[in-house]
Structure 1
Amino acid sequence: MTIIQQNNKKILRFYGLEAARFNKGGCIYLDSAATTLMMVNAKEAADRFLEYYSNVHTNAHNKAKISGICLEWAYQKVTEFLKCSETHEALFMGSGATAAINGFAQLMRFNFPSRRMVVISSMEHHSNDLPHRQNFSEAVFVPLSSKGKSAGGIDLDFLNNILEENQGRVAYVAVTGLSNVTGVRTPLQQICEIAHRHDTVVLVDGAQMVSRTRVDLTALGVDAFAFSGHKLYAPGSPGVLAIKKNLLEQLSPIYVGGGIVDDVTTSNYILSSKLRERHQPGTPNIYGAILLAYAMHSLIEYGMDYIEEHEQNLCDYARKLLTQIPEVTCYGCIDNSAGTNSGCITFNILDLPHELVGRILNDHYGIAVRNGCFCAHPYVRSLLQEELWELDADPENPDDINRIDSFKGMVRASFGVYTSKQDIDALAKAISIIVQNKTNFLNNYISSSIPLTSSVSEFNPLKLLSTGNSQYEI
């Protein structure tokens, strides 16, 4: 039995699975980079909490006291999971990493107005790119360390030079921990050392990293770390910003309201003496925080080292199988050694638009993948540039332009703790069949406007939510 099989069986036993305990819904779910499926035992734990649910910010009655204790436990579980209990505070912000990153950008702009430059890697999701451009007058992009179909990584020499030349002007450096496009890992410790040497801080988009690898913010030296609970097996939970206490102490809040003050008069207000509370106005998403914290508790109990090994092995195995299939191009493999990518694999099939491949995998093989540019247009464009240049097209011909547009993207298969080696085998087998029958598939899918399945248009949300029966097969 392989390590993948052993780990997967251990995971299934730990969660009491039947993979249905993750609500896989009958399909082979390879879209975990977009959102992970619900960890059902975490939902059950959060549902048990609802018996005691109340708003916090008072000790006048028992429900409020219990809710406050549980919410405090959730905050502590986040920093325990990220191994930064002594160094960082956790803030719950909005519905995902996007809100947390926007909040950080606004905090830094508001509190450090003389620092008008941000430095951003060229692999970023739009959520770790556009907020910085919107809030700062100058954004510098760090080039990739490799080019073409293997593009990925960060040019550390460029990073060092740009920070040295602009020391005192840079508000922060924004990088991903793990690319949502290719799974390329970022050398966070080296980046933090370079940034700190030049008097600036580092914000990490950890949305892909947090569910796939063991994270130790203290050891890495990361100043701020944003992630989404919905990508950590807890859909409906909040976004999180874990930020160094000594940095947060320097920041006046940008969002104000109830719960952040000790006193208010018509002429003044006094912020809370508690550091975290100054930046958490209003009623928090208490249920979502409990849901996320229990998911983290379960992952800690199981062991993130095992999960990291499981996901790494799946990624290496998928890359090995797909690169052996003729007419399939895989992206972002910086070198041929194992361990350089994790969590996902992106690919295209020669002469087949990426959207069509995704639809065929869904319609004919029950495999859920994602296609497009994954909200990372600059990075995807750099990966595809050579291929798009090679397309034989007349720039004056609208049909040729539309044909090129259909190839501006790729297909991504991404993994979770519930993904098995058998899921990867099914994907590779399906892709092999598609390659062998390209002409038939192209003839069967006449236009991009055809529905995924004939029954999708009849799907009734209210019937599903009211009765649990949608009369719809995934």
Structure 2
Amino acid sequence: METRRRDFLRSISAAAALPTLTSILRGETVWSGQPENQANAGLRDLRSQFPLLRENTNGRPLVYLDSAATTQRPRAVLNALARFYSHDNANPAKSLHTLARRSATLYDTARATVARFLNARGPDEIVWTRGTTEAINLVAASWGGANLGPGDEVLVTVSDHYSNLVPWQLAAKRANSTLRILDVGDDGRLRLDQLGDLLSKRTKLVTFPHVSNVLGRINPAKEICERAHRTGALVLVDAAQSVPHFPVDVRDIDCDFLAFSGHKMCGPMGIGVLWMRRELLDAMPPFQAGSNMAHDVEIDAAPHFAEGGLKFEAGTPNVPGAVGLAAAITFLESLDRKSLWAREQELTRYALSSFTKVKGLRILGPTEPSERVSVFSFVVDNRQALEVVTALDAMGIAVRGGDLASLPLLKRMGVTAAVRASCYAYTSSEEIDRLVAGLQG
């Protein structure tokens, strides 16, 4: 075990030399650690920036392996939130008092940060939402309500999270349209060979998870978009589990809509993003109505709607959420996301190898690290998922279990519940060791 851990640390040394908290807050990039201990020092530096990781639970040092549900927040994000509430808190307005102008500037800057992060054509393609779920519901209600009708089809997948399945079930029912399902193989890989039969001129939209929240499998987004566009269909990518792990470029993927949540990538809860092509955004009717999304409103005249994403942002905006997400993006980018991704693949390889030591454990999803992120769902012979979750919790190990909001996929994999251990940039090989020991015990 110790030899393999040393090999693991040695293999990631080039990727793990990470900036200190002070350098991040100053906007600098200062690399720490000597060549022979960069992996250890770099990961320690990174973990030290997440206060909650120092907590004890049930008398044990916390092992947090539930990052696919929500990540922990670094001090850079916590400080950004505290600073906003302490120094800049106001309902944003560009032409009113000083605090209102400062709040508006921060809000606009955060939108521009997200646009750059996704390689969008501009900030006006970004819509703030409460999270991935609301973003998808916005598309289903606004675009779906205006464009779906009898005989039309929406193609979803058996691997979709409820948040990308139920909205389209409801939209199809409202429009008297048909929901078609793309299956997966026994290995959880999307059956792209079925697309020839499923796609037609009746297909108005194709939607799928960029990364499965159960299997951790990375789906070929660019290929799916290209094939869908050949038939004239639009594509919505559920990027809730991909954006947190590796760079996502909306122009390279060539999708039409993309949604993700801030809290799964070190940002606050309650803030999410819907990116969509500007021409689609302009053509879609508002999702909710109220202040900020309309102006010059008269009793006896149709309202004038705001330009860009503001058209879909009725009411008082979540400025601190946007500020916190922008801080999370800045934090992640300062760490060099490509290097973090290389390290994550090594951690994935280490974890998959370690799981083979647990008798009766079966991993769901790919065993090749390059095909997945570090999200591991598994079942253990003769043990219920919630029983395993409870036993691990007593040891200070936080994992998730149940149907994982993806029962159709679990059934396709031959089970109705699973345990999920999900890692992030701050996860260590020692934490994988503790998980494996807990499963063996």
Does the 8 Å CA contact 1:184/1:341 hold for their aligned counterparts? Answer: yes
Cα deviation code 1:352-381 (max 9, x no counterpart): 111111111111x31111111110000011
Equivalences for residues 274-289 of structure 1 within 5 A: 274-289=307-322
C-alpha distance in 2, partners of 1:85/1:46? 28
C-alpha distance in 2, partners of 1:7/1:430? 29
2:38 aligned residue: none
C-alpha distance in 1, partners of 2:11/2:411? 36
C-alpha distance in 2, partners of 1:34/1:197? 35
Does the 8 Å CA contact 1:57/1:259 hold for their aligned counterparts? Answer: no
TM-score, length basis structure 2: 0.86
C-alpha distance in 2, partners of 1:71/1:205? 24
Q: 1:344 aligns with which of 375, 382, 386?
A: 375
Cα deviation code 1:51-102 (max 9, x no counterpart): 12211234121111111111000111111111223497111112x2111111
Does the 8 Å CA contact 2:145/2:171 hold for their aligned counterparts? Answer: no
3-state SS in 1 of match to 2:155: strand
Does the 8 Å CA contact 1:97/1:227 hold for their aligned counterparts? Answer: yes
C-alpha distance in 1, partners of 2:339/2:270? 24
Higher Rg: 1
Q: 1:376 aligns with which of 402, 406, 415?
A: 406
Does the 8 Å CA contact 2:112/2:122 hold for their aligned counterparts? Answer: no
C-alpha distance in 1, partners of 2:165/2:357? 35
Equivalences for residues 69-468 of structure 1 within 5 A: 69-86=105-122, 89-94=125-130, 96-114=131-149, 116-137=152-173, 138-144=178-184, 146-147=185-186, 150=187, 152-164=188-200, 167=201, 169-272=202-305, 274-333=307-366, 336-363=367-394, 365-385=395-415, 408-432=416-440, 434=441
C-alpha distance in 2, partners of 1:273/1:411? 45
C-alpha distance in 2, partners of 1:343/1:38? 18
Does the 8 Å CA contact 2:114/2:123 hold for their aligned counterparts? Answer: no
Q: Structure 1's 110 and 297: CA in aligned 2 closer, same or farther, altered over 3 A?
A: same
Backbone CA RMSD of aligned residues: 2.0
Residue identity opposite 1:245 in structure 2: R
- Deviation, structure 1 residue 2: 2.3
Does the 8 Å CA contact 1:347/1:410 hold for their aligned counterparts? Answer: yes
C-alpha distance in 1, partners of 2:147/2:189? 29
Does the 8 Å CA contact 2:47/2:426 hold for their aligned counterparts? Answer: no
- Deviation, structure 1 residue 8: 4.6
Q: 1:36 aligns with which of 71, 81, 84?
A: 71
Residue identity opposite 1:34 in structure 2: A
Does the 8 Å CA contact 1:76/1:85 hold for their aligned counterparts? Answer: no
Cα deviation code 1:303-344 (max 9, x no counterpart): 2212222222222211111124332111112xx433111121
Residue identity opposite 1:305 in structure 2: K
- Deviation, structure 1 residue 297: 1.2
Q: Structure 1's 353 and 8: CA in aligned 2 closer, same or farther, altered over 3 A?
A: farther
Cα deviation code 1:226-255 (max 9, x no counterpart): 111111112334121111112112112121
C-alpha distance in 2, partners of 1:266/1:280? 21
2:83 aligned residue: 48
Count of matched residue pairs: 400
C-alpha distance in 2, partners of 1:128/1:294? 27
Does the 8 Å CA contact 1:88/1:244 hold for their aligned counterparts? Answer: no
Does the 8 Å CA contact 1:5/1:421 hold for their aligned counterparts? Answer: no
Which segment is superposed worse, 260-269 or 243-252?
A: 260-269
Cα deviation code 1:368-412 (max 9, x no counterpart): 111111100000111125xxxxxxxxxxxxxxxxxxxxxx31111
Does the 8 Å CA contact 2:66/2:421 hold for their aligned counterparts? Answer: yes
Does the 8 Å CA contact 2:363/2:378 hold for their aligned counterparts? Answer: yes
Cα deviation code 1:4-54 (max 9, x no counterpart): 466455266676655362412230000001111112211202221221221
Residue identity opposite 1:140 in structure 2: R
Does the 8 Å CA contact 2:63/2:431 hold for their aligned counterparts? Answer: yes
C-alpha distance in 2, partners of 1:301/1:78? 15
Residue identity opposite 1:78 in structure 2: V
Q: Structure 1's 240 and 158: CA in aligned 2 closer, same or farther, altered over 3 A?
A: same
**Structure 1 portions without partners, runs of 5+:** 386-407, 435-474
3-state SS in 1 of match to 2:296: strand
3-state SS in 1 of match to 2:140: helix
3-state SS in 2 of match to 1:351: coil
Does the 8 Å CA contact 1:88/1:242 hold for their aligned counterparts? Answer: no
Q: Is 1:60–2:96 an aligned residue pair?
A: yes
Does the 8 Å CA contact 2:292/2:306 hold for their aligned counterparts? Answer: no
3-state SS in 2 of match to 1:249: helix
Aligned sequence identity (%): 28
